[in-house]
Amino acid sequence: MFTSATIEQLYKELESGQWPIFSGVSTHQNSCILTLFIPEKLHYFTGHFPNRPVLPGIVQVHWATQLTQKVFRLNHFHSLRNLKFHNMVMPDTTLKLSLEHSADADSVKFRYYHDDSTYSSGVLQFRPTASD
């Protein structure tokens, strides 16, 4: 099921201090594009790496999974396919996160990008809703 998301709804449903700053949400029939700013103060940068902070890939996957569950009201994450990290996400970076839901496959393609540069991408697979 698809739900229209707003920045206010996302902040209300997500634990503060562990998320980027959302500055835009654009929803369509089966897709959502979120504009986010990755501030240097996020604790995920601490120690990863000391001389050159980089947002860990697992955090990018976690954010994509959690946001997918909020936006599309999907439950029961099952697996991750075609995960690729193309560029490092540094502090104080603005990105877009594209989420494209394929209802017939119970999957969502995600991609973090800015202009023509892709930072990471993959496919999140969920268990079919009939087994809920």
Structural domain harbouring 35: 7-131
Q: Say if residue 2's pLDDT is above 60.
A: no
Does residue 82 sit within a domain?
yes
Task: Give the amino acid at 29.
Answer: Q
Does residue 1 sit within a domain?
no
Q: What percent of the chain has pLDDT over 90?
A: 64
Could you tell me the sign of the dihedral formed by the alpha carbons of 28, 32, 37, 43, in that order? positive
* Domain count within the chain: 1
Burial class of 84 by CB neighbour count within 10 A (0 to 12, 13 to 18, 19+): exposed
Does residue 2 sit within a domain?
no
Average pLDDT over residues 17-41: 92
Does residue 78 sit within a domain?
yes
Q: Say if residue 37's pLDDT is above 90.
A: yes
pLDDT band, residue 4 (cuts 50/70/90): low
Does residue 89 sit within a domain?
yes
Name the residue among 69, 53, 61, 37 with its Cα closest to residue 120: 61
CATH number for the domain that contains residue 45 = 3.10.129.10
DSSP-based helix, strand, coil % in the chain, nearest 5: 25, 40, 35
pTM of the model as a whole: 0.90
User: Using alpha carbons only, what angle is made at residue 9 by residues 78 and 7, rounded to the nearest 5 degrees?
Assistant: 100
**Each residue of 52-101: pLDDT tens digit?**
999 999 999 999 999 999 899 888 999 999 999 999 999 999 999 999 99
